[in-house]
Structure 1
Amino acid sequence: MAESIDAYYWIHSDWAYFGGPRLKEMARRHGLQVNHRPVDLATVYARTGGIKLPYRSAERKNYRLLEMRRFRDLLQMPINLEPRFFCVTGHLPSWFVIAAQAEGHDVADLSQAIMKAIWVDDQDAEDGRTLVSIANGLGLDGEVILARAIDPRTELIYMRYTNEAIARGVFGAPFYFFRDEGFWGQDRLEMLDARIASALGRSGLG
């Protein structure tokens, strides 16, 4: 079986948005598959002691915004610091990504496009019409994916990913695993790259 990276993330995560392009490039360079596993971050937080953004202190909220500006400038990735459709559940777009993956599609671009819709384009990713439009724009059949997304069996996969993530020690998002070693946050991607390069005997970070 080919080696892979397991990526657990909340589809509304700004940090997953920032990390998406580098994760895709890293996987391409090392010849690895990425298993996209969207999770219900509210459940993860409830079971691991995390604090939802609205309930964090002003100091934490302010520093988060500072870091967002820093990574926006560092990575040259546009982002709306206060998007219109944020802090909703993320269930439907998560199911949509899971459904597309079950249909046999590489969902890296789809997932990134959904996060861009949230963080750059101020679109409502909880609206099925938005998701269908995004998928169609990537050459996928959005209606077919949406039909599978709202199938109750897809929600079961979503909750399985969430419980699996918690069992593996996930407490935030994004969280990446290679050979069962976890790396929390898009700012650990360089460490993940180096770990993969070392394990596979290849050159990383380039």
Structure 2
Amino acid sequence: MQIDYYLSLISPYCYLGGEQLADIAKKHGATVNVKPIDLSQVFPKTGGLPLAKRAPERQAYRFVELARWSKHLAMPLNLKPRFFPAAEGVAARMVLAMSKTGGDSLRLANAFGRAVWAEERDIADSQCLLDVARDCDLDGTALLEAAARTELEVQIEALTREAVERGVFGVPSYQFNGELFWGQDRLSFLDRALSTA
């Protein structure tokens, strides 16, 4: 059983849903294909707006929802993290490099999300990337070197096109058996779909 997981490492909702996704996949013996995408390419094609261009009312309500979910899930979350938005390209390529080795790329992706939203760390900084990888018992130097490969940048572009072709318009999005689930608040539906597969 395969779950395609389209994400942005700096999305608070990817952070909030990441551990739940890991638990659901483990429960069902499913494999998670972690697929970082470039939202700056997704939004113009699907009618979305980057956060800074959204109406003030939407931006204000976003804080309300994040606080609710943080409390509901008992997960620490800084509503205005010091390093947000952060350039996530290198970190995303490290996650892809991890996938290519057959390692736990979901764990690494979740660690990057936690670094941004709970630990006030800058995932655009190389030392931070090395430290996060080390915290996951990974060879950060090797992953950082792999992230410099052009092929991984091309792969993120390909994954972004794939996401749009599959109907993805925001993150987190999960696809299982051809069915798309958008938002960490839809994980219970994904859980049910896996239960009946």
TM class, shorter-length: over 0.9
Aligned match of 1:189 in 171, 183, 187?
A: 187
Tell me how far apart the structure 1 counterparts of residues 107 and 71 of structure 2 sit (CA, whole Å).
22
**Could you tell me which residue of structure 1 aligns to residue 85 of structure 2?**
87
1:134 aligns with 2:132: yes
Deviation at 1:85, TM superposition (A): 1.2
Contact 1:131–1:142 (Cα < 8 Å) also in 2: yes
Tell me how far apart the structure 1 counterparts of residues 157 and 143 of structure 2 sit (CA, whole Å).
18
Give the letter for the 1:58 counterpart. P
Tell me how far apart the structure 1 counterparts of residues 90 and 167 of structure 2 sit (CA, whole Å).
25
Q: How many percent identity over aligned positions? A: 39
TM-score, structure 1 length as denominator? 0.93
**Could you tell me which residue of structure 2 aligns to residue 203 of structure 1?**
none
Give the letter for the 2:155 counterpart. I
Deviation at 1:89, TM superposition (A): 3.5
Contact 1:40–1:90 (Cα < 8 Å) also in 2: no
Deviation at 1:104, TM superposition (A): 2.1
Structure 1 unaligned regions, length at least 5: 200-206
Deviation at 1:99, TM superposition (A): 1.1
1:114 aligns with 2:123: no
Give the letter for the 2:61 counterpart. Y
Give the letter for the 2:183 counterpart. G
Tell me how far apart the structure 2 counterparts of residues 85 and 196 of structure 1 sit (CA, whole Å).
36
CA deviations on 1:143-192 (whole Å, 9 max, x unpaired) are: 00000011111101111111110110000000000011000000000011
The aligned length equals: 197
Tell me how far apart the structure 2 counterparts of residues 73 and 136 of structure 1 sit (CA, whole Å).
29
Deviation at 1:58, TM superposition (A): 1.1
Tell me how far apart the structure 2 counterparts of residues 124 and 150 of structure 1 sit (CA, whole Å).
18
Tell me how far apart the structure 2 counterparts of residues 87 and 46 of structure 1 sit (CA, whole Å).
18
Tell me how far apart the structure 1 counterparts of residues 75 and 118 of structure 2 sit (CA, whole Å).
9
Which runs of at least 4 in structure 1 moved beyond 2 Å after TM superposition?
Answer: none
**Could you tell me which residue of structure 1 aligns to residue 69 of structure 2?**
71
Structure 2 unaligned regions, length at least 5: none
Contact 1:103–1:145 (Cα < 8 Å) also in 2: no
Moved more, 35-44 or 84-93: 84-93
